[in-house]
Amino acid sequence: MKQEPTTHTSTALSAKFAEPVADYLEYLQRERGRSANTLRAYDVDLRNLGQFLQHQSQDPSLKQITVEMLRDWLAQLHEAQVSRTTLARRISAVKNFFAWALKHQLIDTDPALRLAAPKKERRLPHVLQPSQIDRLLSEKTEVTAGAGDSESAAESGPDARSQAVAARDKVIAELLYASGLRISELVALDVGDIDFERRTLKVLGKGNKERVVPFGKPAERVIIAWIRSHRKVLARQEAKGALLVGVRGARLNVRQAREVISKALESLGDTAASGPHALRHTVATHLLDGGADLRAVQEFLGHASLATTQLYTHVSVDRLRQSYRQAHPRA
């Protein structure tokens, strides 16, 4: 289900800063088609700068903001030990905002032009071994309900509801590994997005870009079981066509789905992998290990840049090197 993006500009900011930010967010929504998540991230980052300027008792108009002010803001973020990733994202948001302001003649010169983003930390993601995936997705493995659901399920009493929650949670785990979806993409799926004849999903990804993603027979089995026997136990009218439903009857939200997977991974007891993105990392690595073409994996994951997908080739090489050290007599 396509969600309508909304803006969240803080009213605590002065109009001199808040109004152009609101105009910029509207531009990103209407003309660039940015998602609600992207708009929220931009709003948070730009509001952080606006609040810093107000706290410094400067409260300048957009034209009065200088590169020195921006560097003072960055220095404050450094002192607060903000991570490199967050710092890079905030610098990018500010640079894009001022570039837009210059283009629309809201400022005469771009004060963010000379800001340099820190190099991002290149961390290899934790990847599950095939044996761990087998345990995670085994019919014998009980996948627990998310923290937001378990209490309500207990209150409702009947075994049918508990079985429905367990069946839904298996769909979450199977589909994340089968399709490599982002958790936000997973919870946005409608029943109508599934083509059982071709075993594919119609997915609305970042930037409202649509792609078609395949899934396998094990995922097909748990999806069919969920839809035929269990979904109706939980779903109410407000769920509409949602594939995944919470115990209160509405579409399952991202937090609940994330907690389902986090608890399931924690229950394995022998992996540092955590959260749903670990399954996305894992399926990408397993595809490349199995000989899949890099560009096919890029399309599968919905990456805008091939460079993002190439991270997983480093994971595969790292795994190969580790296996070589363990197995080769002259390693």
- Cα separations (Å) of 108 from 24, 62, 227? 17, 10, 58
Catalytic residue among 95, 135, 182, 231: 182
- Which residue in this structure is represented by tokens 């020195």? 68
Contact by Cβ (8 Å): 260, 144: yes
Whether 71 is catalytic: no
Whether 140 is catalytic: no
Max distance between CA atoms of the chain, in angstroms, equals 69
Whether 217 is catalytic: no
Catalytic residue among 206, 211, 248, 319: 206
Whether 206 is catalytic: yes
- Which residue in this structure is represented by tokens 């080739």? 313
The helix or strand, by DSSP H or E, that contains position 93, with its residue range, turns out to be helix 84-103
Whether 280 is catalytic: yes
Catalytic residue among 135, 231, 251, 280: 280
- The C-alpha atoms of residue 216 and residue 212 are separated, in whole angstroms, by 14
Contact by Cβ (8 Å): 86, 74: no
Catalytic residue among 24, 42, 177, 312: 312
Question: Per the structure block, which two tokens stand in for 65?
Answer: 């903001």
Whether 89 is catalytic: no
What are the catalytic residues? Answer: 182, 206, 277, 280, 303, 312
